[in-house]
Amino acid sequence: MIDDLKGKETWRLFRIMSEFFEGFDELADIGPAVSIFGSARLKKSSKYYRLTVEIASLLARNGYAVITGGGPGIMEAANKGASMSGGISIGLNITLPKEQKPNRYQNRSLHFRYFFARKVMFVKYAIGYVCMPGGFGTLDELFEALTLMQTHKIYRFPLILVGEDYWMPIIDFMKNTMLKYKTISKEDIKLINLTEDPQEVVDIINRHMDWKAKMVSKAKERKLEAGI
């Protein structure tokens, strides 16, 4: 019995390793990318579906790949906007009992069994997150990114919330309750951008890319001066 369990666990480790390997191999050449999150339940009639298509289209036209969870709703809208504008439209699909039906607008697709392997791909290859209105999954990605930046486990990148009517109650909770209890600091709030404007989303991402390019250039200069 114990040997059987060991065998199953060993096989599970190989499956996990294969998901990481496939993800790293498939996404290594995509260039700068933006991960877009949002509800699978929002329909094409939603203003946020239409807004997501516009945002993803603008990002693609500015040279950014778009990464989504590959499903319907907001994910479909993001993949649609990217693909229609000739961009790289990536879907990180996952096996779920419901809601996760891969959308047809992906021109690169990966399939995951494990959430944690999939989440690594979202953050590793993104130079920014755009969070549209969404459920627990969107909140999970949002707060994980905030935690990783707050604890300096990843470099800071733009974290953009789109939809003031949806996100303001959460922002107010952070400002009025979390700050009051000192469970976060004022600097942590500054990690978040809130907007309704698709062009502002792209402008925030572009400013970050310009800043990042300058930092890389300065680092190279320091290495040359040090003779490294």
Q: What is the mean pLDDT of the segment spanning 162-167?
A: 97
- Pairwise pLDDT comparison (223 vs 112), residue with the higher score: 112
Q: Which pTM value belongs to this model? A: 0.91
The pLDDT tens digits for 16-45 are: 999 999 999 999 999 999 999 999 999 999
Q: What is the mean pLDDT of the segment spanning 82-99?
A: 90
Contact (CB, 8 A) for 195 and 160? yes
Q: Classify the C-alpha dihedral 41-166-78-157 as positive or negative.
A: negative
The domain made up of 16-226 has a fold known as: Rossmann fold (3.40.50)
The pLDDT tens digits for 48-72 are: 999 999 999 999 999 999 999 999 9
Q: What is the mean pLDDT of the segment spanning 219-227?
A: 74
For the chain, what are the domain ranges? 16-226
Half-sphere exposure of 99 (CA within 13 A, CB side): 14
- What average pLDDT does the chain have? 92
Give the amino acid at 10. Answer: T
Q: Could you give the 3-state DSSP secondary structure of residue 130?
A: strand
- Dist. CA 38–CA 29, nearest whole Å: 25
Give the amino acid at 217. Answer: S
